[in-house]
Structure 1
């Protein structure tokens, strides 16, 4: 039996003899062999966690390194669910407890800035369809006394041909969809999904504009350049939000600190990266000017653009953000990526690149009577947001109003405009 150590990832603290146990064991009737333990520390789970995250379809947002960075910055209490079958690991759901307006919510770690969440499951669990329905009761029982409501946001019920084991939980469709560009055998074939002729014509036009001012350089930041580029992104995005009268979702110290931590957690060797900065730098008469910045995460053959920004003060007619996307996508195709993900949030430039639109859901599992009321309210909020977002003029007005009042942050999205 595990004992609580009251520590967080990467920061060890000695346990005391009178600490309560961190294990709430449940045996769902549908799966007698399934047991769930609950942990308030990441450290005891690291080996099993890293084993499960090797699954190519598991989201980078549930990887050990990604979660560690958020935990170190925000320090919310943890309620990490570890499922086992006998002595074999079955799944890990990395949850944190966030208290708001008297309600304790169990959410995926760092969910506010996640583009897709899947949880972590073993091959044995995924192969046994009889175990998935037991999750609802098992999770509710494990979280009793720790949370009022479990909200697992941005979960695709089916992802790249696999049905999510979490699909049996009560769900409401998220108001935001995600957009992806699958890579086919050749770069040309990949472009044909989104009108290759028009794309190439636009790229050549942009290239001519940039060459006429002295050229450009596509940067993949070295370790000593990463932090400066990330800070430049925060600045560029703040300007764009201000000009658009939108709230700045990156304008808080813990969030910025987390993304800086993620830059330093990239794996040595190979291509995988929790966060890597890319940029378009001008040459010639505008030498050194950074016209566009993007941050990519890569896990296996899946790349997510976590966020991007532009500075169109000098070469706006070249659409530097679109140009940088071309350069990144072309390079990643050569490196064997299968899917380029623009993340959640419906913008015109995403639709111009993406033939695939992925519907995601928020899973709402009440734990207490207060949680049941909160779940009903959350469903109403989500339905209202969906209705507002379907009306472009109303949505723009609401965003401007929120910006003036400074009311909170926009939820997850690669552009910070996903709420």
Structure 2
């Protein structure tokens, strides 16, 4: 989890602390009064909100996964009913929560659009509303959200929310929550690649890179590519689907990329790009071999960018090629080193505890799920989600138990 420490020499004085307490109370009172004037509307289409939506997403701290283009690609592919929540205060958009309605075990669940393929969710908040963070009256906020979704959903389930993101507390933090079983892992970028490496075990990492390079050269050489044409990018995405499908099959796991809607969604992201805003929905990076394996793909990954934040969405390797070089990790070296001097502050490896992520990422961020029942049925659905989530967290915190659970899952497919 991200933490911050206040140096003992910087502790506020008693008078300063009293002043800060007084200011905090005034802010809380002001926000409670303001919440009484927030009007929440529900929209079943994205288009009427596009102008305000794009204005809110310009804030660098709002997640890529709530951006208009990301959500539009998902909606075009899946065509699920929408219940987008818009909060208005003093005639201005205070927030947008891009929500769709998903049927799950007989319940109607309001979830973030594309929640199944999101690594971090923040919602969209105006800067003024976002800065209020922990001063929002949670009971009032929860009640207004329930009222807005009444008759549309049994449960509001907003997943994978960091309580604090890059110094800003989430305005959603006061709502009923459970900690998600998955954490996310990030690598802060420093001015140079060498400085960035110093956050890690730089000596061992450089040694490993040299060994990998020599082995790849001995196998005929390699090239690191980011194809520029849309046609090439789409072609690489199809190669990723094939490699990942083979990997899931070898592990006896379901292929989460197999359905045509998910594939259409990801293909739709490739052409979402705005260089002026430093945004792209999906960009394929590849490690391609030379020599006797000329043209074959050893490793492939897809990354997204919003502002100064890069998110690695997925990766795959061809397990038949140069296995002793760890081509996937070698590709990360190429990608991360190549992104320096391009206005990047944070490289995000996304959700899921894996060894390669911990080796690259000195920052670990806990995520939480908002679990807010809307109907009596939603109370049961919310309780079930809490039990399942805590159960998964318990298992994942115990490596032997987690390994056993994975073996059972592989056996039953």
TM-score, normalising length: structure 1: 0.87
Confirm or deny that 1:329 pairs with 2:310. Answer: no
Q: What are the superposed Cα offsets for residues 252-287 of structure 1, whole Å, 9 maximum, x if unpaired?
A: 111111101111212255642111111000112211
Q: What are the superposed Cα offsets for residues 47-80 of structure 1, whole Å, 9 maximum, x if unpaired?
A: 0000000010111100000001111111110000
Report what 1:257 is aligned to: 264
Report what 1:34 is aligned to: 38
Report what 1:196 is aligned to: 202
Q: For the Cα contact (< 8 Å) 1:282–1:291, is it kept in 2?
A: yes
Q: For the Cα contact (< 8 Å) 2:251–2:410, is it kept in 1?
A: no
Report what 1:121 is aligned to: 125
Confirm or deny that 1:183 pairs with 2:189. Answer: yes
Residues 206-245 of structure 1: pairs in structure 2 closer than 5 A: 206-222=212-228, 223-245=230-252
Mapped to 2, the partners of 1:336 and 1:196 lie a distance apart of: 22
Secondary structure in structure 2 of the residue aligned to 1:77: coil
1:332 positional shift: 1.0
Q: For the Cα contact (< 8 Å) 1:117–1:155, is it kept in 2?
A: yes
Report what 2:280 is aligned to: 273
Confirm or deny that 1:88 pairs with 2:92. Answer: yes
Between structures 1 and 2, the one with greater helix share = 2
Over 3 Å counting, the alpha-carbon distance change for 1:270 and 1:104 in structure 2 is closer
Report what 1:282 is aligned to: 289
Secondary structure in structure 2 of the residue aligned to 1:333: coil
Secondary structure in structure 2 of the residue aligned to 1:168: coil
Mapped to 2, the partners of 1:88 and 1:328 lie a distance apart of: 40
Confirm or deny that 1:166 pairs with 2:172. Answer: yes
Q: For the Cα contact (< 8 Å) 1:273–1:297, is it kept in 2?
A: yes
Q: For the Cα contact (< 8 Å) 1:295–1:305, is it kept in 2?
A: yes
Report what 1:355 is aligned to: 362
Mapped to 2, the partners of 1:339 and 1:107 lie a distance apart of: 26
Secondary structure in structure 2 of the residue aligned to 1:334: coil
Q: What are the superposed Cα offsets for residues 105-162 of structure 1, whole Å, 9 maximum, x if unpaired?
A: 0000000010000000001212345446342222111111111100000000001111
Q: For the Cα contact (< 8 Å) 1:132–1:166, is it kept in 2?
A: no
Gapped regions of structure 1 (runs ≥ 5):
1-27, 407-419
Q: What are the superposed Cα offsets for residues 304-356 of structure 1, whole Å, 9 maximum, x if unpaired?
A: 00000011312111111011000000011221210000000000011011110
Confirm or deny that 1:317 pairs with 2:292. Answer: no
CA RMSD of aligned residues (A): 1.7
Secondary structure in structure 1 of the residue aligned to 2:48: helix
Over 3 Å counting, the alpha-carbon distance change for 1:132 and 1:326 in structure 2 is farther
Report what 2:401 is aligned to: 394
Mapped to 2, the partners of 1:312 and 1:248 lie a distance apart of: 17
Q: For the Cα contact (< 8 Å) 2:305–2:311, is it kept in 1?
A: yes
Larger CA deviation: 254-263 vs 128-137: 128-137
Q: What are the superposed Cα offsets for residues 363-414 of structure 1, whole Å, 9 maximum, x if unpaired?
A: 10011111111111111111111112123333333334334434xxxxxxxx
Residues 16-31 of structure 1: pairs in structure 2 closer than 5 A: 31=35
Q: For the Cα contact (< 8 Å) 1:132–1:165, is it kept in 2?
A: no
Q: For the Cα contact (< 8 Å) 1:312–1:320, is it kept in 2?
A: no
Report what 2:24 is aligned to: none
Residue correspondences, number: 380
Q: What are the superposed Cα offsets for residues 168-189 of structure 1, whole Å, 9 maximum, x if unpaired?
A: 1111110010001001122111
Mapped to 2, the partners of 1:313 and 1:122 lie a distance apart of: 49
Secondary structure in structure 2 of the residue aligned to 1:177: strand
Mapped to 2, the partners of 1:285 and 1:49 lie a distance apart of: 50
Q: For the Cα contact (< 8 Å) 1:81–1:94, is it kept in 2?
A: yes
Confirm or deny that 1:112 pairs with 2:112. Answer: no
Mapped to 1, the partners of 2:124 and 2:159 lie a distance apart of: 15
1:55 to 56, 59, 69: 59
Report what 1:306 is aligned to: 313
Q: For the Cα contact (< 8 Å) 1:247–1:402, is it kept in 2?
A: no
Over 3 Å counting, the alpha-carbon distance change for 1:250 and 1:285 in structure 2 is same
Report what 2:21 is aligned to: none
